[in-house]
Amino acid sequence: MAYRIQSGSALQKVLPCIDLSSALSKTKREVLYRHYADKLVVNPELNRALVSFQANKNIPFYRWLKYKEAFSSGLVQYCLQKFQPPRMSRLRVLDPFAGAGTTLTTATKEGWHATGIELLPVGVAAIRARLLADSVDIRSFEYYLNRLEKISWHSSQLNGFKFPHLRITDKAFPEQTERAFSTYHAFLNGIRRKDVRFLFWFACLSVLEDVSYTRKDGQYLRWDSRSGRLLKSNFNKGPIRDFCSAITGKLRLMLQDIRQRGGERFSRNVNVIEGSCLTQLCRLPDASFDLVITSPPYCNRYDYTRTYALELAFLGHNEESVKQLRQSLLSCTVENKTKRIQLAQEYRRRNLEGRYKAAVTAFASQEALHEVLALLYAAQEEGKLNNNNIPNMVENYFFEMNLAIRELSRVLAPGGRVVMVNDNVQYNGEEVSVDLILSDFAARSGLTIDHIWVLPRGKGNSSQQMGTHGRNELRKCVYVWSKRNPRLSGRQA
């Protein structure tokens, strides 16, 4: 049986076995909630700072780039200690959404072998910078920093370099900052050592927001009215740093951290895979990790390619490559289109059709999810959503996460665990229980749901939603799933 989601020929879709009348009674979601209710526990050892970038702000190396979507090194340490398998010689951790690499470098410092998959080049650059910090020659770094501090920014020659703007970054910098980029570009070209040059380049990437008229604000870049762009709001982000002081300040901070590295050894056992975990996870061998610590993008419409537009432009991306990147990231924006055809092809090409089909079946039978989707598609038909692509986004998000979770279950060694940070979301007043739905996908892939740790204070819904639907605290959670070890059966914690 199927229900009609959208009228209009091209968008006619078929989803499994949900009766819209039962959807309206919300019973499937209630059943799901009851099923996992005893797993939902508040963990007082966790707090919002720990599961966000906040606690990294003053931590050497992690403070170089403000990667707001990161979790803290402290959270990773907490998980490593809590879930270290007993008596193992080679501990292996995986982060399929590695971001700026918090899991990877925290774990390697503790002696683990770490593998990360990351698609956004900004994250990859941050990981690379931290790895290079291990071995970069301090004297050479210092030498170039001293030279930079003697540059006369106003009278130095421009080398013709222009910041390679995208449409959405146009007018992001004051005129003198645009000129300073050219001076700095010439300076970078004069650095002979590759690792020092990379770190000086990375320092520039890390100060772009500070020296711009923009602020990263979740879904979008927020623009300061001084930018000269045509804007509706009168936002003023406060003082905008001049490039010279921002870059030298950043490099001084980096030098301070590098000087204190004292055998940190971030880079010893790190393997970074640049690409999408949706196509990379299926290539990893079975049972090859003891622990997964990760946080996927949330299903909250935040668009990494928008918030990191300055950095992507600096990295040389053009309009088309940004569009492609957005489409390849896990679907969490209303612009994302379904990836099902490409994913099916990828699995077929690797002779993994059986795995793909099993994932499709598991997705199709998650009734609580399809109940929410039915409500969202109905709201779409009634014109009640502030964006008509929200139901597609939610559907694609769960389809892709289900596939990723099944792969995590496969690559996990018996006795291993997955720790995942994620937020629930709400659209049109309907709470989407991301924690319960993803945990149910995990259970269907053979994992045991140990806990769904709820943070003592959740997250309010967006101001837009709050106006219409009132304040509703959404659960912010850390899920802990484990893979049964038949040899220890009955003795597992």
Ligand X SMILES: C[S@@+](CC[C@H](N)C(=O)[O-])C[C@H]1O[C@@H](n2cnc3c(N)ncnc32)[C@H](O)[C@@H]1O
Q: Name the segment binding ligand X (CB under 6 A); options: 83-91, 92-100, 412-420, 474-482.
A: 92-100
Residue 363 CB, nearest distance to ligand X (Å)? 17
Are residues 124 and 114 in contact, defined by beta-carbon separation less than 8 angstroms?
no
Q: Name the segment binding ligand X (CB under 6 A); options: 29-37, 251-259, 272-280, 432-440.
A: 272-280
The DSSP call for residue 55 is G
The verdict on 70 binding ligand X (CB under 6 A) reads yes
Task: Report the residue from 117, 136, 191, 368 that binds ligand X according to the rule CB under 6 A.
Answer: 117
Give 406's contacts (C-beta < 8 A, 6+ positions apart): 355, 358, 359, 362, 441, 445
Backbone torsions φ then ψ of 453, nearest 5 degrees: -75, 125
The verdict on 424 binding ligand X (CB under 6 A) reads no
Residue 156 CB, nearest distance to ligand X (Å)? 36
Residue 252 exposure: Cα atoms within 13 Å on the Cβ side: 9
Beta-bridged to residue 431, according to DSSP, are 426
Task: Report the residue from 23, 50, 104, 119 that binds ligand X according to the rule CB under 6 A.
Answer: 119
Query: Tokens standing for 421?
Result: 């940070």
Residue nearest to ligand X (CB): 99
The verdict on 123 binding ligand X (CB under 6 A) reads yes
Q: Name the segment binding ligand X (CB under 6 A); options: 31-39, 211-219, 271-279, 463-471.
A: 271-279
Query: How far separated are the first and last CA of the chain, in Å rounded?
Result: 42
Which of 71, 223 has the CB closer to ligand X? 71
Which of 100, 455 has the CB closer to ligand X? 100
Give the closest residue to 207 by CA, choosing from 267, 164, 253.
253
With both helix axes pointing from N to C terminus, report the angle between 390-411 and 367-381 in degrees, rounded to the nearest 10.
Answer: 160
Query: Tokens standing for 135?
Result: 């071995």
Task: Report the residue from 3, 61, 97, 356 that binds ligand X according to the rule CB under 6 A.
Answer: 97
**Residues 136, 444: Cα–Cα separation, whole Å:** 46
Which of 379, 401 has the CB closer to ligand X? 401
What residues numbered 275-304 form the site for ligand X, per CB under 6 A? 276-278, 295-297, 304
Task: Report the residue from 118, 209, 367, 430 that binds ligand X according to the rule CB under 6 A.
Answer: 118
The contact mask relative to ligand X for 325-354 (x = CB under 6 A, - = no) is ----xx------------------------
Residue 329 CB, nearest distance to ligand X (Å)? 4
Helix (H, G, I), strand (E, B) or coil at 482: strand
Total length of the chain? 493
> Between the CA of residue 185 and those of 19, 193, 439, 481, what are the distances in Å?
61, 15, 48, 47
> Site residues (CB under 6 A) for ligand X?
67, 69-71, 97, 99-100, 102, 117-120, 123, 276-278, 295-297, 304, 329-330
